[in-house]
Amino acid sequence: MDIPLLDLKAQYKSIKNKIDDALMRVVESQYFVLSQEVESLEKEVADYCGALYGAGVASGTDALILAMRALGIGEGDFVITSPFTFFATSESISLLGARPLFADIDAETYNIDPNKIIKLLQSADINVRSRIKAIVPVHLYGQCADMDAITEIAEQFHLKIVEDCAQAMGAMYKGKKAGSFGSAGAFSFFPSKNLGAFGDGGIILSQDEAFIRKVKELRVHGSREMYIHEEIGYNSRLDSLQAAILRVKLLELDSWLERKRVIADKYDKAFTPLGILPPKVDENNVHTYHQYTIRLEDRDELMQYLNRKGISARVYYPVPLHLQPCYKNLGYSIGSFPISETAAEHVLSLPVYPELSEDKIDYIIQTVKSFFGS
């Protein structure tokens, strides 16, 4: 049996006619960039997430960059974020000329620990603290960070919040959707995401209309009107074909997420007796299981065993950001963030896509059990 980590072919097959109709609608219109399709998607995603405004951009990375740029973050500033996430989070900060300041994660949820943020702020040199402008909490694996605590810290220290929602479309914290808490929510439409395009794309959400207007200027070369450039911006426009595809998928998203939660529950019940640590779902959260990530001592051995049995399993993420070669100049080293480093050594993500059949779910469970001799 061959079970990929994600089966986009199966997803397309389940909605093929709707997708094909949407694509043909765009082709027949011959409007391919920032058209009515994009405007409709912006409104629909904003409504879905409980935000007032949205701006489609070219990628999730661009969503982070443009959101922070529109908030005035730039050269010489500092931004607090997690060391345990995909590189784009800190890369976006660095590309603006700012510097990432890492705060370690919670050992159970893998999201940034508010207590570590407080310690970082309290211990920072006054010259550094005065230049800390924002917190970028990452809603890792599809579960929101502790947004009450993070919001309280941001208010206390007069910081902006840019939510990294790349993995968290549809996730909820205390009844509110990811992307509706901070100054901005940055989402990715990379094909593997909960809401994924047939290429790349992203969106920035906010409750602030003036902020979104700024983002929309930045995404078209800093232009408010054609050929008049208020500032140097970017070429970061979401195309109409992707928007049309995403509008179709958005209507399916809740049912897909519910199916993933059903699969995750089956895994939880099967794996916990084996001594595997399943994903910890905080009581305030509705998890979307962008990744179903377990934790165990002999992670590498299990991953190799599953791969030999035809089951794709992958590590997200094997090297924390503070240990990346390009960040040697930041002064971090092994031991700087022990919880993130331990997670990187022991986490493993298993297939959890909605189209996963019952026989494949059972095969995954039985294969994991057989590894443990159960």
Could you give phi then psi for residue 275, rounded to 5 degrees? 90, 5
C-alpha dist (Å) from residue 64 to 12, 36, 91, 94, 221? 28, 24, 9, 11, 16
Q: What is the pTM of this model?
A: 0.97
Q: Which pairs with CB-CB distance under 8 Å and at least 24 residues apart come from 113-116?
A: 113/339, 114/146, 114/149, 114/150, 114/153
- Residue 107, classed as helix, strand or coil, is coil
141, 293 Cβ separation under 8 angstroms: yes
CATH class held by domain 252-371: alpha beta
Where do the H-state alpha helices sit in the chain?
8-14, 16-29, 36-49, 60-70, 88-95, 114-123, 126-129, 147-157, 209-218, 240-271, 299-308, 338-346, 358-371
- Residue 113, classed as helix, strand or coil, is coil
pLDDT in tens, 44-60: 999 999 999 999 999 99
Residues constituting the chain: 374
b or e along 148-183 (b: 16 or more beta carbons within 10 Å of the residue's beta carbon)? ebbbebbeebebbbbbbbbbbbbbbbeeebbbbbbb
Please compute the mean of the pLDDT values over residues 153-164 and round it to a whole number.
Answer: 99
How many CB atoms lie under 10 A from the CB of residue 16? 10
Amino acid at position 206, single letter: S
Domains of the chain by residue range: 8-247, 252-371
- What contacts 214, CB < 8 A, 6 or more positions away? 70
Which of 83, 126, 85 shows the shortest CA–CA distance to 103? 83
Check residue 92 and give its pLDDT.
99
pLDDT in tens, 103-120: 999 999 999 999 999 999
Check residue 51 and give its pLDDT.
99
Fold adopted by 8-247: Aspartate Aminotransferase; domain 2 (3.40.640)
- Residue 347, classed as helix, strand or coil, is strand
What is the spatial distance between Cα 181 and Cα 51, in angstroms, rounded to a whole number? 9
| Packing angle of the helix pair 60-70, 209-218 (nearest 10 deg) | 120
What is the spatial distance between Cα 271 and Cα 315, in angstroms, rounded to a whole number? 18
| Band of residue 80 on the pLDDT scale cut at 50, 70, 90 | very high
Enter the tokens of residue 96.
């603006």
pLDDT in tens, 193-243: 999 999 999 999 999 999 999 999 999 999 999 999 999 999 999 999 999
C-alpha dist (Å) from residue 240 to 41, 47, 66, 129? 9, 19, 20, 42
C-alpha dist (Å) from residue 44 to 38, 39, 54, 203? 10, 9, 9, 11
| Band of residue 374 on the pLDDT scale cut at 50, 70, 90 | confident
- Residue 64, classed as helix, strand or coil, is helix
- Which residues are paired to 186 by β-bridges? 164, 204
DSSP secondary structure, 120-156, as one string: HHHHS-HHHHTTEEEEE-B-GGG----HHHHHHHHHH
pLDDT in tens, 291-300: 999 999 999 9
pLDDT in tens, 317-363: 999 999 999 999 999 999 999 999 999 999 999 999 999 999 999 99
pLDDT surpassing 80 at residue 83 = yes
pLDDT in tens, 304-316: 999 999 999 999 9
Percent of the chain with pLDDT over 70: 100
What is the spatial distance between Cα 367 and Cα 147, in angstroms, rounded to a whole number? 37
What value does the mean pLDDT of the chain take? 98
What is the spatial distance between Cα 303 and Cα 197, in angstroms, rounded to a whole number? 28
- What contacts 343, CB < 8 A, 6 or more positions away? 84, 105, 107, 110, 295
Sign of CA dihedral 290, 200, 147, 338: positive
